[in-house]
Structure 1
């Protein structure tokens, strides 16, 4: 059960998202701007949620910095019209999509986060190396040598013999003189040990030590089978996605994590085989390369709405 403080925080985040969507639509007038200002001033949690919403939206869509000013000036009719013409459906659809993709809401106010397609590398105070993959959020507690993976995927290298604790929704990891990659998703949490060994303690059942080159899945049911893993699964740390004779549908499921918007494909192309090393810094180019090497076509409805279909044969 959520505490009253947590409930207020989540309510404030949802309300901030609604205000931001209203401003983006261009339909907000002087009255709405004044109501927003009053809402922001009504409680400190409102202002924190507003600033968090702006920071996150700026990563996705480069919201003009003037929206973050302490006092918002009412938009005149001409600017509202121009904004509608400029953004149109491209604003409304990505905003709704963005709100669903950024759940859980705790990710909005996490200490560290990355947007879709973004990756970050940080050196922590103790010399540990932390890498965040696309759409990832992490909370830090340096005093307790503790990290919390709110959502997404990270790589953590701890050179010290003093343990670092990594909390996930499905269990707790203890990392010392080791490197581990962790991907948290709805079904569970995939844990891969790159070097050393890592203590794994599920929410239910007994824990174990996972060694170099081994992986397992933590879930609500406990610890899954221990298996070896391919180094290609870690290539995201170099900004690369590697496929080795992989079904295209499987490749696109992973690739879509790095691309904003809707990426769809006809089932007829899902079983095509793809091999290659693809740079994640330019996802448009990856789609172009796929079309050049496989019998498929890329249909761009908008920059953020793309469909892959079988290539038509002219007669």
Structure 2
């Protein structure tokens, strides 16, 4: 999601909060007319919400005091056609918005950046795949890999998301080709049978569930992880994780299992299973979480969090979910 879209969503959240000030309304108008791309991003939200809200929009038209929420009014109303808006929105922008909306919807189901991958999964999908040597990999939701087996190496390139590898020893003891998972930050070579690799933003998480693996990064550092151990790899170093508060491989069983973890980290684990966009405030992201939650029912999981923690959720249909501190918990 680009920065202009993020700003448009932030303005939507502010305007529909029921607590917007006149200063904030004026600031929104300044932002909207500051650049054509701002108006384009706002128009895209109008298009997207008008198609997806349905009856949910009726429920969101009033805030707690019974007043009509400005943000929903603005989003569901036709795009204004004042002289300066016509200048911004003219020249085929409607077609561009429609195209961007369709692309956005597709991307939330299957990342567009992974369409050329050998194997890929969409939102809330997991896939088990048997490799040419009999080994198996399980892909997490919104994940993608390329497979390159040759006479010297068994290579799985993790492009996005996460995988669990169950590696079989080759019957031909003469060949003994290494089994390697390649991420953006380095390589994970199997020295045993079962391990997980997750490609995160700017770093890679590795967790071993059976036997051991050897990590290596381009700068030359290597590190061996044994059963039950985890580590991060980034461009500069390998950092073992001393205390694991969230089971990094729990997704294999379709759950999120946490013990004293921040809500922000829990939501990051939920994102691949939620088709819509989730935004969480910095304050809510710091709330500590305990529990086991099912990935098969992300909406129920969010409701459970509201019921047991000082947070509240605002939703725009199934497309946008905002998590904030509740008024009693703020």
Where on the TM-score scale, by shorter chain, does this alignment land: which range? 0.5 to 0.7
Specify the SS of the correspondent of 1:115.
coil
Instruction: State how many pairs are aligned.
Output: 227
C-alpha separation between the residues in 1 aligned to 2:224 and 2:155? 19
Change in 2 beyond 3 A, CA 1:246/1:265: same
Deviation (angstroms), 1:214: 2.2
Specify the SS of the correspondent of 1:232.
coil
Q: Give the root-mean-square deviation of aligned CA atoms.
A: 3.2
CA contact (8 A) 2:125 2:142 kept: yes
1:254-285 superposed Cα distances (whole Å, 9 cap, x missing partner)? 32233122112344433333222111112111
The two structures have a TM-score, normalised by structure 2, of: 0.60
Counterpart of 2:296 in structure 1 is 281
CA contact (8 A) 2:314 2:321 kept: yes
Matches within 5 A, 1:237-276: 237-276=252-291
CA contact (8 A) 1:140 1:147 kept: yes
Q: Give unmatched runs, 5+ long, in structure 2.
A: 1-43, 49-96, 171-175
Counterpart of 1:178 in structure 2 is 193
Deviation (angstroms), 1:130: 0.7
Matches within 5 A, 1:1-315: 92-93=100-101, 95-96=103-104, 99=107, 105=113, 107-143=114-150, 144-160=153-169, 162=176, 163-225=178-240, 227=242, 229=244, 232-312=247-327
Counterpart of 1:56 in structure 2 is none
C-alpha separation between the residues in 1 aligned to 2:125 and 2:206? 21
C-alpha separation between the residues in 2 aligned to 1:94 and 1:289? 32
C-alpha separation between the residues in 2 aligned to 1:257 and 1:175? 26
Q: When you count helix as a share of all residues, which structure comes out higher?
A: 1
The two structures have a TM-score, normalised by structure 1, of: 0.62
Change in 2 beyond 3 A, CA 1:104/1:173: farther
1:20-44 superposed Cα distances (whole Å, 9 cap, x missing partner)? x9xx99xxxxxxxxxxxxxxxxxxx
Q: Give unmatched runs, 5+ long, in structure 1.
A: 1-20, 26-88
